Amino acid sequence: MKHSLNLTLSVLLALALALPAAFAIDVPTGDFVQLVEFCEGCHGKDGNSQTPDVPIIAGYSYEGFFNTMDVFRLGDRIAIEFHRPGEPETVMNEIAKQLSAQLVRDLADYYSRRPFVAPRQDVNAELARRGEIIHNRLCEKCHNKKGAHPVNDAAILAGQWTPYLRRQFDNFLSGKRFVPRTMLRRIKELPKEDIEALLSFYASVGMQR
């Protein structure tokens, strides 16, 4: 079921009250500037989110960005619902479904050109040092340059919000989010302390960038 994008504001507001969140989203699909403003209402200026639950999307590779949106569109990755003040809950899956392939290409181009700016986060230096050793052994092969290189579809980890990354680990381990087999093998056996060490390491590299 799809709703018309030309509904008036009052009808939309009525819908927002009456229907589940998935039907209440009004994603701008015409004007690119409005679309970017819509994304940045959650993902922050230039995609550098100020909200620990919402990932930074600046500086990703074009391919990685495009593929992620496609995976959301197909429902192969199920995003959390997220609440913007004064608005109904929204999920990335519904947003991605409403965008044309051309708009997603434009967004991928736009955000791959914004610099990734790491937020300040609390870091336990000792844990971070342990995390670096684990990273070099198990993760550097795909997440190059200490997790800071946006190679193709492997995401930027260095400086990404810790609460967001922690949730992704939970999703990978519980099977909620697809994970490349080689990566799953490496994270499956990790004790919780090692995952926390990796998270501290990525937060610390972010702040050195």
Could you list the residues that contact ligand HEC (CB under 6 A)? Answer: 35, 38-39, 41-43, 53-55, 57, 65, 68-69, 79-80, 82, 84, 90, 92, 95, 107, 138-139, 141-143, 153-155, 157, 160, 165, 167-169, 178, 180, 182-183, 186-187, 198
Task: Compare residues 184 and 207 and give the one whose CB is closer to ligand HEC.
Answer: 184
Report the residue number, 50 or 182, with the smaller CB distance to ligand HEC.
182
Q: At closest approach, how far in Å is the CB of 169 from ligand HEC?
A: 6
Give least dist CB 8 to ligand HEC, A. 21
Residue type, 161: W
Longest distance between any two alpha carbons in the chain, whole Å: 56
CB of 173 to ligand HEC, least distance (A): 11
Query: Which C-beta is closer to ligand HEC: that of 7 or that of 74?
Result: 74
Least Å distance, CB 6 to ligand HEC, is: 19
Residue 152 CA: distances (Å) to CA of 61, 65, 68, 98, 178: 6, 9, 11, 24, 16
Sign of the dihedral through C-alpha 116, 153, 171, 91? positive
Q: What values do phi and psi take at 33, rounded to 5?
A: -65, -45
User: Based on CB atoms, which residue is closest to ligand HEC, 37 or 126?
Assistant: 37
Rounded alpha-carbon distances, angstroms, from residue 12 to 6, 24, 75, 95, 194: 9, 7, 24, 16, 47
Tell me how far, at minimum, the Cβ of 125 lies from ligand HEC, in Å: 19
Nearest distance from C-beta of residue 95 to ligand HEC, angstroms = 5
Smaller CB separation from ligand HEC, 118 or 139? 139
d(CA 178, CA 78): 10
Answer whether 147's CB lies under 8 Å from 139's CB: yes
Residues across the chain: 209
Nearer to ligand HEC, 62 or 153 (CB): 153
